[in-house]
Structure 1
């Protein structure tokens, strides 16, 4: 199943028609998607956004409330003429599971609509987790989650964020070099273990979805999200509000672009970005960045400064190529890459000036991700919520 950035299913998977049922399905989808992405809208705002009549909007909201997909509360008391419009928010009865395998852990999250992370558990592993390890860890976590659900809550599906090449329509991993996964049917394996639908995608692609929809970024319709984690570096490209996936979902492997150097990468190539830009030497800076009050910037020591300068030069080569090719307005750095705009902003700007054309470079801002550790979990959950958003009447 292909998923667009707005959370709806790929057009090939959605039945389109003009019957009364089809029109109602599309209207329900529009209303629920707006509430999900905005997290709170008045009924009057929904009417304006959709162009529907007030009575139709009221009817649709009432159906979504009855299905447990949204909650409606009275508007706060304000001094105005007329009756205040009720506020509509995502409900917490339909929940998604997010699974993110990495070289040193498997993270499992529980997410409600509106991108609300209710729980997240990182399960460290003594070795690089195999697909079977990932399924076992995730299945055990989901068992605990199910036992903790209150009456009326239900899991809808599982979204998986994989650091590698994922064939989206089949939720299969063609290659995850750092995990040493080759042609792994992770979707089928997890579905069989959990008795839930499973949708998998590249981790940077789901990170791009999350930062685009729920991050606090202005002008995010042309965005490159670059994720750095223990399993390497990947990128997701949002172009004109839609996710650029490629013919099979493999687009965005920025970590495997050539930036110089002689080290052989896990993918088999030489001089890939992720062989030159790595997390381990930056661990102290990242920990200090995450714990610093008020967004204070950590100060690198001399050894760390040398590492930062070298890694920044390599990162700028890859980002400069992406700027020249895609002309983004925003580059969002997530995971350990958040260190670079915090600790090496001036070097990054100078190096980007060497590796990109002036006109597109002048239009782009390079910023850290705003969702922190929740980015991949929220993005993976968006895969699981896509069928609900596309056809709320089925749930």
Structure 2
């Protein structure tokens, strides 16, 4: 008879004791009676796997710390993985599942890269694999998409899923500061890591987009299927131009059900800086907050908003998963597993149609606008508006922002190449995509 089959306490193993892990551990240790009432059986935190048992961890009993992660997961009913990264997290999760333990994880990198093998292992073993905290931390998003919207059809998911980049772009918009200055402030405040590459280059949001697209469209979408472009090239001039358009610039994860060139349904998943009108709900998301906008067939438009990072907010989502998985072990049943029946193909970015804003530096001479318009026409792109600026750059070029109707990436790339060959165009300063603009 296993420990779970008896009426003893459910044995919980924690892998990782960083900011989130410490918060989870303290909550489990501070309120075991509450958890027992919610779950229907006592729980026991039997150990915490760490790299260095001598490191100071306030509020965490040292006798719980161990470097023997494999031994710990082999003797647990429920494993909480908060180590991050691909290995040894993957091997430990599979080991836990193999021993019949349910798993809670916040590891978006692993789920985005190799989620299907973990889902299949959990399904074969008849245990839960829960991951609410992998996307948008404390915001209840994964469970509503897996369960509440299971009878609906999701058309599109568009969201701010990285607080660091939202803090940077929001501060640039409100103050006019340059990216590097705001990034330094974000690092001082703890919003950005010493190495901010995963955030600034969009890789964090890319993994989250893969998870969201897989859930929304019942298809397997991996991190490598998500086109990714970060904010490292965004300048204060870009922000000023966007504000003159009555818009805001956000790094968005955009996942949508589209129609491929063959007329059949497909999935598009991308992460990139995006211009949205100030009237759009996502435009008002400030500081390091996250928000996800979900468009559905029956429920209409839904918005999920809250703190998308941090020790306590992320711990809240982890503990919610823990309670659910533990209740399933006590009362029977399982949580929702992978749903990939649709198996829709992934449409490349080159085939996606969206609107664009192309910011140019042009010579102040007659005929320039006509030359520029001709280039767009020859590339098959319809121009929606041209916004001329007054301020000249140091080299005497005048700013010109072109807003287009929907076009493909290939059409825009062709137009940009032609523009660079024009004598009257000094620079193609930026090419940004636009969403939510009628």
Both structures adopt the same fold (TM-score exceeding 0.5): no
Structure exhibiting the larger radius of gyration computed from Cα positions = 2
TM-score normalized by structure 2? 0.29
Q: Normalising by structure 1, report the TM-score.
A: 0.31
